[in-house]
Amino acid sequence: MIPLSDADKPKFVASRRAVDFVEDGMRVGLGTGSTAAWMVRCLGRRVREEGLKIAGVPTSTRTAELARKVGIAVVTLEDAGWLDLTIDGADEFDRDLTLIKGGGGAHLQEKIVATASDRMIVIADPAKDVARLGAFPLPVEVIPFGWQATQKLVQRLLAGMDVDGRTATLRMAGDTPFRTDEGNYVLDLHLGRIGAPRDLALHLNQIAGVVENGLFMDICDTVVVGHADGTVRLIGRAGKEETGRIDLADAESLIADL
């Protein structure tokens, strides 16, 4: 039996299909999170077994560590200049391929890398596919200095936005505030429903102290959705879809990397 949990199977399936888009010589943005970690492992296997030569630009220190471990050459975005492709996960996506990202607190680097790419592919399980964004808390990275004032300004803004909830909580790591790779804090906005994502994103980023929010609009080109039975669905812009299948046995050689 494949030693994969039901939660890991869709992540592996989506990741295995997504790395097929990577070609020799590409400069590839490497996302952050549990699903993206499977993608990095799958891509590392292609590097080792096929001799694929790529340059990987990680979106967090933990992704960089994993990429080096599996044999992917890691470079900075400054060294790469521009990327051919970024593959990353998402916390939610809707029919317009608008995303909520930042559950892992890396959405600032993820957005910079994704927008510096010719194409972005998102890998996800079916639970991330939503009719309307907002059930997952929206992360907002903020400067530590005066963060309480920034929090009040954010909550004041939310009072006039098309959302159902208006609470902004400081993300914690045990007894201390969670810090991003840049040393900033994260406010999680518990909105329930986001009626106008573009309007919300624009106004959030105008608040002093806000660095970046986790709404990704007009950035994702394709979503690869993996299912626990090996089925994979590709969703493109304008609702274009195709389906396929991945052999779960392919995960056996990756278990040692866990």
Identified catalytic residue from 23, 92, 110, 241: 110
- What was the pLDDT predicted at 139? 98
Query: Do residues 85 and 119 touch, judged by C-beta distance below 8 A?
Result: yes
- Tell whether the model's pLDDT for residue 9 goes beyond 50: yes
Backbone angles phi, psi at 134, to 5 degrees: 130, -20
Residue 199 pLDDT grade (very low, low, confident, very high; cuts 50, 70, 90): very high
- Element spanning 149, H or E: helix 147-158
Amino acid at 55: A
- What was the pLDDT predicted at 1? 43
Query: Do residues 101 and 59 touch, judged by C-beta distance below 8 A?
Result: no
Query: Do residues 123 and 85 touch, judged by C-beta distance below 8 A?
Result: no
With pLDDT > 70 as the criterion, what percentage of the chain qualifies?
Answer: 97
- Tell whether the model's pLDDT for residue 71 goes beyond 80: yes
- Give first-to-last CA distance, the chain, whole Å: 17
With pLDDT > 90 as the criterion, what percentage of the chain qualifies?
Answer: 92
* Partners of residue 230 on adjacent β-strands: none
- Tell whether the model's pLDDT for residue 196 goes beyond 60: yes
Q: How far from chain centre, in Å, is Cα 212?
A: 14
- Tell whether the model's pLDDT for residue 257 goes beyond 60: no
* Residue pLDDT, tens place only, 214-230: 999 999 999 999 999 99
- Tell whether the model's pLDDT for residue 258 goes beyond 70: no
- Entry pTM: 0.95
- What was the pLDDT predicted at 177? 98
* Residue pLDDT, tens place only, 127-156: 999 999 999 999 999 999 999 999 999 999
Report, as an integer, the average pLDDT of 34-54.
97
Cα separation of 185 and 49, whole Å? 40
Q: State how beta strands 176-177 and 185-190 pair.
A: unpaired
- Tell whether the model's pLDDT for residue 256 goes beyond 70: no
Amino acid at 214: G
* Partners of residue 187 on adjacent β-strands: 140, 170
Cα separation of 102 and 109, whole Å? 10
Environment class of 59 (CB within 10 Å of its CB; exposed 0-12, middle 13-18, buried 19+) = buried
- Tell whether the model's pLDDT for residue 88 goes beyond 60: yes
Query: Do residues 116 and 82 touch, judged by C-beta distance below 8 A?
Result: yes
- Relative orientation angle of helices 8-18 and 34-50, to the nearest 10 degrees: 50
Q: Is 110 a catalytic residue?
A: yes
Structural domains of the chain sorted by starting position, each given as residue range(s) with its CATH number in brackets = 8-129+218-257 (3.40.50.1360), 138-214 (3.30.70.260)
- What was the pLDDT predicted at 103? 97
The mean predicted confidence, pLDDT, of the chain is 95
Report, as an integer, the average pLDDT of 97-115.
98
- What was the pLDDT predicted at 253? 65
Going by the annotation, the residues of the binding site for substrate are 32-35, 88-91, 101-104, 128
Report, as an integer, the average pLDDT of 162-175.
98
